[in-house]
Chains A and B, each alone.
Chain A
Amino acid sequence: MSSLLRLATAGSVDDGKSTLVGRLLYDTKSVLADQLDAVTRASVDKGLSTPDLSLLVDGLRSEREQGITIDVAYRYFATPKRSFVLADTPGHVQYTRNTVTGASTAQLAVLLVDARKGVIEQTRRHAAVLSLLGVPQLVLAVNKIDLIDYDEATFAVIADEFQSHAKSLGYQDGTVLSIPVSALEGDNVASKSDRTPWYLGPTLLEHLENVPVAPDPHDAAFRFPVQYVIRPRTPEYPDYRGYAGQIAAGTVRPGDAVVVLPQGLHTTVERIDTPDGPLEEAGAGSSVTILLADDFDIARGELIASAERQPAVTDEISAALCWLSSKPLKAGAQVWVKHGAKTVKAIVEELNARFDEQTLSTVGDPESLQLNDIGQVTLRLAEELPVDDYKLSPRTGAFIVIDPKDGDTLAAGLVGERFA
């Protein structure tokens, strides 16, 4: 089992996300005395009788003033079973882009709803974004269960509605769990509540500790974006030429047949080097240095890939874009695309469709993509890139879109047709 779980929270404003995260930190004893003292003092200043746990996480001055979360924040907590990196994302509609940010690396997402309101527009929108990004596991935390008197029937209605929505987004049984919680009172967060005797499932924390994290498929095709060329030219290493990078997918062993793309050079892996010694095998996520059998001239931005299972090399890609900028996108726009360690110029040739998260259907030929829109586009690239379908290989199927004028990140891009 993986020792580290990366998770993201999502939900709409005022449904208690910061309180839930504060509760998780508090109940896992990840909050130390001086931090709690600071929160207690601030709560007293606000006229509260108990510590406001949301103050543990709302770190910015304007957040505390407004009582809302503005920007994605990362939290760390651990239990004896697992370490957790939690991307705590804001719920305001104008900050949906932060949900995309938090979810891009998440293995699980906790969606919050207010038990009094149930599944709302924002819940559906967030679930659609999570599905698009391929977040494998969802938890629906039905919060403020204390405010509906721990009513089983209301919970069941919300859970059923969400399960069927998630199913239509492609989530199979066993990947979605609904839990009745009260972040404020602590029910079913870290300890089982005796006020919900009808709920037989795990607490939120138990589930986070035990949920299986789908490992990188061991049979995925090897992908290695060349990040940096290591050429010491020192007396000790006069001829050393190593290609440094982080394995994006699959595994590699010395002797493996590989191809360098887009050049199309064929060779074999001679050695997998690390400062701690050479490796017999290295897998996805490892930062290593690869030495090849032939003395080719390979630069940052190229991809070393399995010779048997190569990605498509193309200068025209169909992709879904999550548009994260307040500057709208129109067809014909010139942008930069960063894929792996390569940044190339690109033109958005066509806006083919816009996805409607409410009806889970597409609207053809949109005029533009606005902030938080998800669209299907065709991009023409100035240079060929080796790309995979995001569904098959997320790290080599993902890219970001950059504004050539000011360098802002405009969009998250996912190669392939994402919605029919």
Chain B
Amino acid sequence: MTTLEPATDAAQDNLAALESEAIHIFREVAGEFDRPVILFSGGKDSTLLLHLAIKAFWPAPVPFPLLHVDTGHNFDEVIEFRDRVVEKHGLRLVVAKVQDWIDDGKLEERADGLRNPLQTTPLLETIAENKFDAVFGGGRRDEERARAKERIFSLRNAFGQWEPRRQRPELWNLYNGRHRPGEQVRVFPLSNWTEADVWNYIAREKVELPSIYYAHQREVYQRDGMWLAEGPWGGPKPHEEVKELTVRYRTVGDGSCTGAIESTAATVEEVIAEVSASRLTERGATRADDRMSEAAMEDRKREGYF
């Protein structure tokens, strides 16, 4: 959420410290847990997470599978990217499809068509079914006020719930991964990264991202002040006028609530320059689900969301 600027020497030291901390966290989980999994959506934070995991265990393979909670409202480019990355690194991918839960009658489609809020149940049930005991997420504390309170090792009860008043103190770099059967620990190696750090590190390490993070031509229509693309989430409606614009995405999530921004930034350097001039946070700009109430993120985290 801080101003983005091309990384100076001092910032490079900062990136090295953040990288080292994240690698330490990955190895700690590998040493202490039986069945970890990395949440992977193909977005920039989870792509960065995977990049760091690969570095943490090099030259051995990453000892965890990936888990994608698939809302069914995806951008084709992101799914293509996801599958290519999994293939390239010889990883195992578990996909939990929200559509399957809807088809089973366990979840009901919302009137507004948003599927991000529907992810929690498939996530928790897939964790339980696979007996995952540690779940890596790409959450950063700078994203949101409730996330600022999150521990790096965050214990969730048998219902996957977060209880902010009962968090374990986290001292030095001694992470406590103890949990009872049925409980799980959410792990956030990117906790101390800011959006600026993420982009500067992506530039430094030449991390490939889905193409939709960079400027391209797309047909979009305006809804609730956001530019949405056509898709299975019910748009455009007859009165919603479609325009072809040069856009890119600042975050990648469910297509029903992730908006594009008008942009000509086609390279990492141009993205860094653009974001540094922006007066909006990445979520404030393009994520409808966080606007639903003042405590939307906190409430979803309490239920078991990331």
Q: Using a CB–CB distance below 8 Å, which chain A residues touch chain B?
A: 1-4, 28-35, 38, 42, 56-62, 64, 70-78, 80-83, 85, 97-98, 100-101, 104-105, 227-228, 230-234, 236-237, 240, 244-246, 274-275, 285-287, 289, 300, 324, 336, 338-339, 341, 394-395, 398-400, 402, 406-409, 412
Contacts and interface: CB of A to CB of B under 8 A. Distances in A.
A83 B294 contact: no
A73 B148 CA distance: 5
The 4 closest A-B pairs by CB, nearest first: A59-B145, A407-B178, A34-B284, A3-B10
A71 B284 contact: no
B169 to A, nearest CB: 4
Nearest to A403: B178
A75 B143 CA distance: 10
A62 B61 CA distance: 44
Given A227-B31, A228-B31, A59 B298 contact: yes
B59 A234 contact: yes
B179 to A, nearest CB: 6
B165 A70 contact: yes
12 contacts: A1-B10, A2-B13, A3-B10, A30-B1, A59-B147, A73-B149, A78-B3, A104-B172, A230-B58, A234-B60, A246-B24, A300-B31
Contacts of B281: 32, 34-35
Contact of B172 (A29, A30, A233, A394): A394
B32 to A, nearest CB: 8
Contacts of B27: 227-228, 244-245, 287
B239 to A, nearest CB: 27
B86 interface: no
B176 A402 contact: yes
B217 interface: no
Interface size class of B (residues with CB under 8 A): 35 or more
Contact of B145 (A1, A57, A100): A57
Nearest to B13: A3
B273 to A, nearest CB: 16
B169 A60 contact: no
Contact of A230 (B1, B19, B60, B278): B60
Contacts of B230: none
B60 to A, nearest CB: 4
Interface stretch (B103-111, B112-120, B191-199): B191-199
Given A32-B281, A76-B142, 16 more contacts: A3-B14, A56-B145, A61-B298, A64-B294, A73-B141, A83-B2, A83-B11, A234-B60, A240-B59, A274-B58, A275-B54, A287-B19, A300-B31, A338-B174, A409-B169, A412-B171
A73 B27 CA distance: 25
B174 to A, nearest CB: 5
Contacts of B56: 244, 287
Interface in B1-49: 1-3, 5, 8-11, 13-14, 16-17, 19-21, 23-24, 27-28, 30-31
B50 to A, nearest CB: 13
A105 B17 CA distance: 13
B169 A97 contact: yes
A341 B31 contact: yes
B169 A76 contact: no
A400 B27 CA distance: 19
Given A59-B146, A338-B176, A32 B280 contact: yes
B174 A75 contact: no
Contact of A33 (B17, B194, B280, B295): B280
B17 A285 contact: yes
A34 B59 contact: no
A245 B30 CA distance: 12
A386 to B, nearest CB: 15
A323 to B, nearest CB: 11
